[in-house]
Amino acid sequence: MSLAPLTLKATIRNYVWGGRALQALAGPGAADDAPIAEVWAVYEHNQIASGPFAGKTLAELLEEHGDEILGAKGNRRFPLLIKLLDCARWLSLQVHPDDGLALKLEGPGFMGKTEAWYILEAEAKAELIAGIKENTSAEALAEAIRGGEKILELVEYHNVDKGDTVFMPARTIHALGPGLLVYEVQQTSDLTYRVFDWNRPMTGGRELHIDKSLAVSDPQARGQIRRAGQAGSSLITCAYFHLEHLTAPVVRDTRGESFHALTVIGGQAQLQTEHGAQTLKQFDSVIIPAGLEKYELQGDFQVLCSSVGS
């Protein structure tokens, strides 16, 4: 019999910009007053939560069952990192390298970071930064990066609403603003170069990475926004991942090509496989191994599905 669906223990990150919307995912023993900024829901170093592999990390399980989990498109590492972000304040203005620049600047074993956001909730007039204004020269951008707040004169602000999707290629200067709850899928990399941190006095330890930001920032790189309501369940397909929005009825087959990482973003779903049924509630995530192939989702739900790109 194939591997059963894999549920992971989430990793919690408490940063200064976090809020309270994800508090229920913190688990017992968490500090009640600590804002939760990020929940790393699907991550190679998360532990398996239950079943015969409970306590092992996903990375350890891949050493034994890599082909069955990752599928024909897989490599040795789990290729994606999936987070939930609760943005109560502006995140730092930042940029990520691509694969080539990550190798050059950080060395072997480091990957770039192309990512995508799905807006789960957005307060009125919530906004984000997704690139630099058109016709900005490399020289002007470099001067602004060195100039602290001056960079804010060159960035592009965008209002976003619930259900919008934003594709953020590597080398794009960006930031999420307050009032946003976000699903994020990205390459398995948390390599971040901080350009500007809003002069926050309480975060004096948050280092800026000016030289590396200068090396990787592309003035032509911009985020691409897909507005809610556009037809089709496929949201983004790139070299690193495929992101889909699913509603009932769902009858799927991985065809052995790639795992499917499912996250419930609304309602409740009943997952049915050859191993039986399990209930998935809001913000639960589960990995369907590529070798499991067929599965169904029933109920009144919205699910985001991330898999390996084309």
Cα–Cα dist 34/18, whole Å: 9
Residue 60's CB is within 10 A of a number of other CB atoms, namely 15
Retrieve residue 188's tokens: 């398995």
Choosing from 77, 89, 194, 252, the catalytic residue is 194
Retrieve residue 84's tokens: 């939930």
Retrieve residue 4's tokens: 């059963």
Complete DSSP assignment for 229-267 = T-SSSEEEE-SS-EEEEE-SSEEEE-TTT--EEEEEEEE
194 counts as catalytic: yes
Q: What value, to the nearest 5°, has the Cα angle with vertex 29 and ends 178 and 279? A: 75
Single-letter amino acid code for the residue at 103 = L
Catalytic residues: 194
